[in-house]
Chains A and B, each alone.
Chain A
Amino acid sequence: MITYTNEIYLVFFLPLTLLAYEICPKRHRGKVLIAASYVFFYLISKWLFLYLFGVSVFIYLAARLLERARRSGKRYGKIILIFSVLLPVGLLLALKYTNFIGENVTRLGNLLSGGTAVFQPWSILLPIGISFYTLEAVGYLLDVWWGRIPAEKSLEKVLLFLSFFPKLMEGPILRWQDTEATLFSNESLKLENLETGAIRIFWGLLKKIMIADRLAIVVNNLFANYASHQGLVTVLAAVLYTTQLYMEFSGVMDICIGSAKLFGIVLPENFRQPFFAKNASEFWQRWHISLGAWFKNYIFYPMSTSSLVKKWTKTGRKKFGKGLTRAVTSALCLFPVWMANGIWHGAKWSYIFYGLYYFCIILFETVTEPYWKKGMEKLHINMAAPWYRAGQRVKLLCIVFTGEMFFRAENLHVGVHMFRSIFTGSGMAELKGHLLLNVGIDIDDWNVIIAGLIVVVLYDILKELNVFSLEKLRAMKLPVRWSAYYALIFSVIIFGAYGEGYQAIDLIYAGF
């Protein structure tokens, strides 16, 4: 099977696609990319690529109809919009949630009737990346409907937009207007792009196969044996999982963005040093950015400008005052966003809990913020002081670690158990008993993880301070640049967790 981190992709697929792209005349290059993307899709999901093709053609036609209806002011436009949005979303929901709903309906039935019926889950094959391109398709339709972009006349472009292989499996989720400039330019390969793209890929490989794949072994072990862990060990499991997820997801994003860059195509960034955020709401503007942006653009803003919310704001202000009105408005706009976020991740109560968890936290943050600010001013506390900022970060880390623990736990039950177990013991005895050397990796692996993390954290700090970044590396003197490249490449080759003794580890977000 092909995936962004294996040899099939890096050694065969990518170079061959680059070659085919370069030797093709400019006007056919888009077709090369589409063909490569469908081959990529086929290698993972076989004939299910027909689904993606069908959705693409449907979206293409629907967008053109929508535009015509909107221009002529026809009433049926809204009907087309609703239908064309509901179809892909409905299919997504049907494919992903049939078993979940079936199971819970059966359970509810059992509860009411005292029966013991067992739900037989259907085996449903999910086309790869469906959660990602469904959102892209819906975003595209809405933007056409709102007149932000014209409906695309070329089917080829729509096909490429939805299928482009670097973002097919796990995003970033594209917006038409943000990517069209480079996605369809079909420019010849440039050494400059190849260099930045390749080095970005190696940076991603470092995060993924040097750090995340080693942590995966530890995390699987700790979460599988959750029942025997308490206190610090449970906390450690949550912290390590969060680290693994960040290294893995942002690492794969580096590979995806780097891959696209090789062709001169600029994909949007999906991470922006998330752990530098000061609160949960800012965290989500820095973590899985394209998903948060999608929810903001296509759920949050439409909600906040909907007649329901506007009506409430008008009457609420008169009757209940500004504060309460603001609170209810925020809740009205936020609830659908976070419910959707939970459901989007998959058919599990844990994910729905995860969504609602952030809903509560962000709602609380938003509603209390003005009062908090006033309180701080009265107490003469400087909110820009380093110690205050540090406190904010610690609080945010606790929020994120807890959230990810529930997210990773086998089910909600296990999540609750783990959360409780933090307070039922210290876990010190286990740690002193060399637990960490008995979770599937040895001391050398730990050293690699720690060294790798130090490099990544330092890089994130320098990037946040705008002092250094991979992009800036290109402007540096040749000896510095080449040393950095060689160091990166050799680190990946020597310290990567691949080959004998290591199992290839599936991408986490490709499962959503």
Chain B
Amino acid sequence: MDTILSILNDIDDTIDYDNEPRLIDNHLLDSFGVITLVSELEEAFNIEIDAASMVPENFNNVEAIWNLVQRKQGVSA
């Protein structure tokens, strides 16, 4: 979780990630933010995020991102 938060803060530190449930739907994180996030996540957690996972539900908040990472770790483990 903390790793994700620090990655997110690297991308944009003006957002209160703990209290924002809809990062994508509220246009806080744009598509460049998302792809930066994806490549950082892949690097940090050693996972592969595929095209099928690129939906708002997976990136809308820290918890959703965490779930995504866990799912992907489950796949690669």
Contacts and interface: CB of A to CB of B under 8 A. Distances in A.
Interface of A: 145-148, 281-282, 285, 296-297, 300-302, 304-306, 310, 313, 326, 329-330, 333, 366
A281 B30 contact: yes
A313 B34 CA distance: 15
14 contacts: A145-B52, A146-B51, A281-B30, A282-B30, A296-B31, A301-B51, A304-B39, A304-B54, A305-B38, A305-B54, A306-B51, A326-B36, A330-B32, A366-B32
Main SS class of interface, B: helix
A333 B34 CA distance: 12
A329 B35 contact: yes
A246 to B, nearest CB: 19
Nearest to A325: B39
A329 B31 contact: no
Given A304-B35, A310-B42, A285 B30 contact: yes
B50 interface: yes
A281 B31 CA distance: 9
A285 B36 CA distance: 18
A289 B6 CA distance: 30
Contacts of B36: 326
Contacts of A282: 30
When A and B form their complex, which 4 residue pairs have the shortest distance between CB atoms, in order from nearest?
A: A146-B52, A301-B54, A304-B35, A302-B51
Nearest to B54: A301
Most buried by A among B27, B34, B52, B55: B52
Main SS class of interface, A: helix
Given A148-B55, A305-B53, A310-B39, 20 more contacts: A145-B52, A147-B52, A281-B30, A281-B32, A285-B27, A297-B54, A301-B31, A301-B35, A301-B51, A302-B51, A304-B35, A304-B39, A304-B54, A305-B49, A306-B51, A313-B39, A326-B36, A329-B39, A333-B35, A366-B32
Contacts of A330: 32
Most buried by A among B27, B32, B36: B32
A77 to B, nearest CB: 13
Contacts of B54: 297, 301-302, 304-305
A301 B36 CA distance: 11
B50 A305 contact: yes
B28 to A, nearest CB: 11
Contacts of B34: 301
Interface string B24-61: 00010011101110110010000011111111000000
Nearest to A281: B30
Nearest to B49: A305
Nearest to A302: B51
A221 to B, nearest CB: 38
Nearest to B32: A366
A300 B31 CA distance: 8
Contacts of A366: 32
Interface in B1-31: 27, 30-31
A333 B32 CA distance: 10
A305 B68 CA distance: 15
A391 B30 CA distance: 22
Contacts of A296: 31
A166 to B, nearest CB: 24
Contacts of B48: 310
Contact of B51 (A281, A305, A326, A333): A305
Contacts of B32: 281, 330, 366
Nearest to B55: A148
Contacts of B53: 305
A281 B49 CA distance: 24
Contacts of A145: 52
A308 to B, nearest CB: 13
Contacts of A300: 31, 35
A281 B32 CA distance: 9
A146 B55 CA distance: 11
A297 B53 CA distance: 11
A280 to B, nearest CB: 12
Nearest to A383: B14
Most buried by B among A147, A281, A304: A304
Most buried by A among B31, B32, B51, B54: B31
Contacts of B42: 310
A145 B48 CA distance: 18
Nearest to B56: A297
